[in-house]
Every structure is written in C-alpha cells, then in structure tokens.
Amino acid sequence: MNGRVLIVGYSSEIAGGVTTVISLLRQQIPYLDLHVAVRYYHPRWKVLAFTAYSLAVYAVRLLVNAPRVVQVIVGSRGDAIRMLPFILLGKARGCKVCLHFHKNASAILDDFRPAVRRMILSVWGRADGYCFLSKRLRDEFAGKLDSRKPHVVIPNPISDGWLQQIVLPRTQRTRGAIFLGRWSPEKGVGELVSAIGSFGPDSPLQCDVYSDYRPSEAMQNLVFHDWLCEDKVRQVLRETTLLLLPSHAEAFPMVLLEAAACGTPFVAARIAGVQDIAEESRAGLLHEVGDVDGMHNAIGRLLADDALWSQCAHDGRHWVESLEASRVVPEWRRFYADLGVKLA
C-alpha cells in the first residue's frame, strides 16, 4: 500500500466547480491521484457502461497498488448510489476512506425511498472521515453520519490567477447581470426568467446567460451565449455589475468565489454554504429559494444603491483573499496526515 491519496470523482472534461477544485488541489499536492468515476451524464447506457468500466479499473488499481487514502466525491444524487461500491472496495482493501461532499444534504438524499436512504447512510458510516465545504453543510449532515469520526470543514480554494487582477469600478462595467451554469430547474432558471422578465421590456437591465441552452424564442431581457473557458469567465465577471445564482442545490459554489475575486456582487438563493459565503464575505444579497419577488427586490436594491454595490464589491474581494490556495491547501495536508499519509 502506497502513501498516496486517490480521489474518486469527475473527469476534468466535465466543466464545473468540483473539477476546478480537484484540479487545483492536485496542482498543489503532489501525492494526489485521480480516478475518474464520472465522465458522462447521458445517455444512460453510456453512463452505466463507463461506471462498470471505471469500477473494474478501480478494483485492479486497489489490488496492484492500493493508496493509503481513498477520497470519494459526493456531488449529486447519482453519486450517492454510484460511489457506494467504490467506498466498499476501498474499505475491503484496507484503505482509509473519506467522503467529500459537494452538494447540500437534501439535494443528495431527499428523493430516495427510506430503505434506500438507510442503505446509503449505512455505507457512508463505514468511511473514516467526512469533509465539508462550509459549517452549514456540516450541520446539514449532522445526525446522518458517524459523529465519532472526523468532520472537517475545508472551503474551496481559489487560484492565484483570480487574485492578480484589478477590480473595475461600477462606472467601467459594460454588462448588467449574468447567469453562469447549466440550464436546469435545479439551477433555478424558472425564477431567473420570471425575475428578470418582471423588470419589464423598457428596463435597461439585461442578463447574459452562459449555458448549455439556446431557447427557440426570445426571452425578455435575457441574452443567451455558449459556455465560456476560464479566461473568458474571468473577463466577463470583471465587466459585469451583478452575478445571479438562484440555484436550489449548492454547496460552496466556486462561481461566487470567482465573482468576489472580480469585485462583482451577487444575488443568490439562501441555501447551504451560499449562506456562509454571504455572511462571511458580505459580497451580495440573498433571497429565499424559489422566491421570484425576493430575487427581483435584491437585484433592484443593488442596482439602485451605488454605495451598497461598492461595499459588497470591496468586502467580497477582501474576503476571498483568505481562500487563496496557499492558505487552504495546508488544511488538506493536515487532514491527510491525520489519515496516515506521509507529507511530501
């Protein structure tokens, strides 16, 4: 058994906060390896075929050269099921197993039947430790996981590149609002359409949507664009007045950290670690999940109050500097050391 950590998670080909974080950790910590358990979201046959292939390769890796620690990413309802055999095989091989949660508890567990939920929690109970991105996420899982084992809170880090740019004042910003993410009900897109549309056809507010969706008909005050690479995301966030995140399911979203680094205030749904970000950073305003009027009012308040906007921009930028990778990575090193990994 070697002294490495094997992260069981998503392919780097899949865009999103989880892959961004794991890639950053692997750049900073030399003894981290990645085993891809998720490469496709659809079609179903392709997902099942790849899961079977990945599990077989994983079993061989454990047999030939098992790592000291297996770190399993749980970032969706699907992960709650598909990661179970990875956990069981890791424990059977004698590895230390930790679970790293990247979604709020209700989004992962609530839709399962009670018997299935109990089965999932029983397997999770065999892990040797649990990692959460914020205190509220840890609290959401309290009572569901073995309290005798470590429950560590380590926030997502942000790379130096995001912190090496000048924050533009509001007067130099050329965009109104933006939404970055998958176009799905889980992301609150219905509320986004309603809230932005409620400003009326004569409003100067325009929301640019960067997503995997193009509507067949125009939507009021919304302009749709293709996905962006990281450099383009950075440029767009610097030019934008507000970031909108009405999501129903989140953990500690990277896009809010990236917006803070750009001095871009946010309006977001009050859920999981988003609340921790809002309280610690004071970089934006929250509304209740699904509350169109609350979202409309928060947008209007930030757009109408220059002093509030400037304070959010300043506070967010100052706060996110505490999450620079060089400050967060040592917390991961200490956690891995506690699980028996020799520091390199």
Count CA within 13 A, CB hemisphere, residue 301.
15
Average pLDDT over residues 225-249: 93
Q: How far apart are CA 250 and CA 102, in angstroms?
A: 7
Structurally, the chain folds into a number of domains equal to: 2
Residues 317 and 331 occupy one common structural domain: no
Q: Name the strands in the sheet holding 207-210, side by side, starting at the edge strand that comes first in the sequence.
A: 222-225, 207-210, 175-180, 240-245, 266-269, 284-287
What pLDDT is stored for residue 41 in this prediction?
Answer: 87
CA 273/CA 282 separation, integer angstroms:
14
pLDDT digits (tens, 9 = 90+) for 134-184: 999 999 999 999 999 999 999 999 999 999 989 999 999 999 999 999 999
Closest alpha carbon to 266 in 243, 293, 296, 241: 243
Question: Is the model's pLDDT at 32 over the cut of 90?
Answer: yes
Average confidence score pLDDT of the chain: 95
CB 186 within 8 A of CB 255: no
Q: Which residues pair with 153 in a beta bridge?
A: 132
The model's confidence at residue 301, banded by pLDDT at 50, 70 and 90, is: very high
Q: How far apart are CA 100 and CA 150, in angstroms?
A: 12
Residues 65-88, mean pLDDT to the nearest whole number: 96
Residue 17 pLDDT greater than 90, yes or no: no
- Which pLDDT band holds residue 344 (cuts at 50, 70, 90)? low
Q: What is the pLDDT of residue 3?
A: 84
Quote the pLDDT of residue 343: 62
pLDDT for res 287: 98
Residues 316 and 328 in one domain: no
Per-residue model confidence (pLDDT) at position 209? 97
Q: How far apart are CA 197 and CA 177, in angstroms?
A: 13
- Total length of the chain: 344
Asked if 138 and 251 sit in the same domain, the reply is no
Per-residue pLDDT at 102 exceeds 90: yes
166 and 312 co-located in one domain: yes
The CATH number for 234's domain is 3.40.50.2000
Domain that holds residue 240: 160-323
Q: What's the confidence (pLDDT) of residue 11?
A: 95
* 132 lies in the same domain as 180: no
Give yes or no for residue 54 having a pLDDT over 90: yes
Q: What is the pLDDT of residues 268-299, one digit of tens each?
A: 999 999 999 999 999 999 999 999 999 999 99
Q: Is residue 344 part of a domain?
A: no
